[in-house]
Amino acid sequence: MRIGELSKRTGASPRSLRYYEEQGLLTSSRSDTGQRHYSAAAVQRVSLIRQLFDAGMSSRVIATVLPCVDVPGDLGVAEETFTAMMRERDRIDADIAHLIETRDALDVLIRANSRYRAELSTDAEPVAQSA
């Protein structure tokens, strides 16, 4: 299939597909006129690449993980991939911890702001005048 069809089937833009190729994440063959042609398996591969990007992995890290898919029976590749995946998991855990700290700090500010707004609203109530 050509790049437009792969783009349509995966939701990845042609520009993204060309980028995946530049990074060595995806391969294609070329016609005599230079058009890219992809195998049917490229649909599943692009879906995996997009999942990994969505998980926050860089193209460099994805390139270290994909050989596990390409060469599933190679223990050396499996070990390298495992190390890369654990490193990424640790990075994601650290990002989550940082986000939790940031959310907690924001919660403190929200509570303080809520108290302040409540004080302002009670101060702004009109005082009833005696006749």
3-state secondary structure of 80: helix
The number of angstroms, rounded, from the C-alpha of 54 to the middle of its chain's C-alpha atoms is: 2
Model pLDDT, residue 20: 97
Residue among 6, 70, 69 at smallest CA distance from 38: 6
Q: Which domains does the chain have, with CATH numbers?
A: 3-97 (1.10.1660.10)
- Confidence band for 118, pLDDT divided at 50, 70 and 90: very high
pLDDT digits (tens, 9 = 90+) for 22-43: 999 999 999 999 999 999 999 9
112 vs 120: CA distance, rounded Å: 12
Model pLDDT, residue 95: 92
